[in-house]
Amino acid sequence: FLRLALWVSLIFMSSSELVIDVQPSVISPEITPQLVINCSITNNQVQHLDVIKCLTLSRYNETNREFEDLFTLNSSTLNLKKLHQLKFSQISFGNLYITLILQNPTQFDALVYRCNVTGDNEEGTNISLFAKMAVEYENNSTALIEEIRRYKKNESFQCSLKKHEPSEVNQKSRFQFYGSSDIIQELIEPLTLKCSYKTLSQGHKETSTIQSLFILHETNGVIAYINKHQPVVTTIQGDNLKNVEGEIFDNESKDSYLQVTWNNLKHSESGKYFCEAHVNCSDGRFDKLIDIVTIIVRGSTLEDLVKVIQKLQRQAEVDQESLQNNEQKIKAIKEDVDTNKQSIISVKEDLNTKQESILRIDKDLDAKQQDIISLKDNMNTTEKDIIRIKEDVYTNQENILSITENIDTNKHNMSSLLENLTMVVANVSTAFLEVQNQIDEVNKLPQRYFVPPTSCRNVTSPKARVIVTLASGLKVMCDTKTDGGG
């Protein structure tokens, strides 16, 4: 048996964040219905790449002895460029992933497939990282089943839950796969398959992280799968698909799961279904957990059909009663509609009246807006005047302060001057008294030595007329201006 060959070659340094996965890894003629190649980037980032530009899926051309690019995905525009046409294939893509499904693969599809990411590192240097995986071709029709059984029995491929090897109970508690029923009636009952994985941790350290989940049928191949940070992909087409969902979580608070439900199952869909969990262990190993359920799709008997018909009849009766109730409700609704129509007409009339009022209010608002604009202009002018007045007030205040300082200075000077004047007046008064005394003394001298005149001829005076007492004792008025006046 040829085992799966895996090479991971990274330029500059290796990284586990770039993943390529193929399902199944070994294809057989007339046995393998489809081959799924998934090229993806986990966590939407790659170590040593600051900017991811594109993701390319290619396969090895043995004739040219070089890899031939099949699809290139632009990471910024999510535009997928098809570089090579493949017959009987399906392609899906999204945020940093490309998935290629080859229907009924042949020996020529058993090649080495490469997933390549190109981008810039923190220095701005363009670098390329890639991972490769080979698909082998096996003529043995039981190759896939034998491979699955070998992985199932080989406990060395299981991630450790603790430091010792896990027990079967621990594995079941973290990885479960089950169906809605082991026996499904053909074309009548739906089938639901659910695969779940719980991330367990030891202390604060997680022992493993899941990268992808697959649900496969032993002969029909992949039913559905999900990769980390990518949407669920299913191969069930048309009205048969009822529901498919899933999500992968990084912590133990939520279980990662993949669930698919579809209808109209046929007898050919009986058999073993496998759930594969691709796990990245804490020690750096990539392991695969597998669980199996067996589903039997049996043909419907007459008794089954009778039960279905009876169930449909009961459902029809319930639907009929529900229909009658709905008709009554519809009548009531129609009456309510008629009433509401009248109310609507009244409301419309009120609206028309209110619209007219609104028009009038709009006109008033326009006029008031003009008034407001005029008031604003006046306010602007007033503000300018106030600013000028404030400036004048500030100037006057400065002048008043200067005048006040001058007044204080003048007061001080006046006080000094007043003191000086007081001293001068006192000195003048003293001098005046002395002069007055001297004048009085001088005035007394003529009285001592005065001889009364005998006539006005000898009278002299600065005054024009003066009363004089003559020597005879007679008082007369003498004219001192006229010569010889009397």
How many CA atoms lie within 13 Å of 338's alpha carbon, on the beta-carbon side? 5
The residue among 260, 291, 259, 292 whose CA lies nearest residue 277 is: 291
Each of the 486 residues of the chain gets a pLDDT tens digit; together they read: 333 333 333 333 334 478 889 988 888 876 788 899 999 887 778 887 888 999 999 999 988 899 999 999 998 888 999 988 887 888 888 888 899 999 888 888 999 999 999 999 888 899 999 999 999 988 754 544 555 555 545 444 444 333 333 444 344 447 899 999 999 988 888 999 999 998 766 555 556 788 889 999 988 888 999 988 888 888 887 788 889 999 988 777 788 999 999 988 988 899 999 999 888 877 777 788 899 999 999 887 788 778 888 888 888 889 888 899 999 999 899 998 988 988 899 899 989 999 898 999 989 899 999 999 999 999 999 989 999 999 999 999 999 999 988 998 988 888 888 888 889 888 888 988 888 888 887 777 766 667 788 888 778 888 888 888 888 888 888 888 776 556
Helix (H) or strand (E) holding 434: helix 302-449
Contacts with 32 (C-beta within 8 Å, 6 or more apart), sequence order: 24, 104, 105, 144, 221
Strands 126-134 and 6-10 come out as antiparallel
Q: Which residue has the tokens 């600051």?
A: 50
Main-chain dihedrals φ then ψ at residue 471, nearest 5 degrees: -65, -25
Q: Using CB atoms within 10 Å of the CB of residue 479, give its burial: 0 to 12 exposed, 13 to 18 middle, 19+ buried.
A: middle
Asked whether the beta carbons of 254 and 239 are under 8 A apart, the reply is no
At residue 299, φ and ψ (nearest 5 deg) are -65, 150
Q: Residues 469, 471, 476, CA angle at the centre, nearest 5°?
A: 30
Going edge to edge, which strands form the sheet with 286-298? 183-185, 286-298, 271-281, 208-217, 221-227, 233-234
Q: Tell me how far apart the terminal alpha carbons of the chain are, to the nearest angstrom.
A: 185
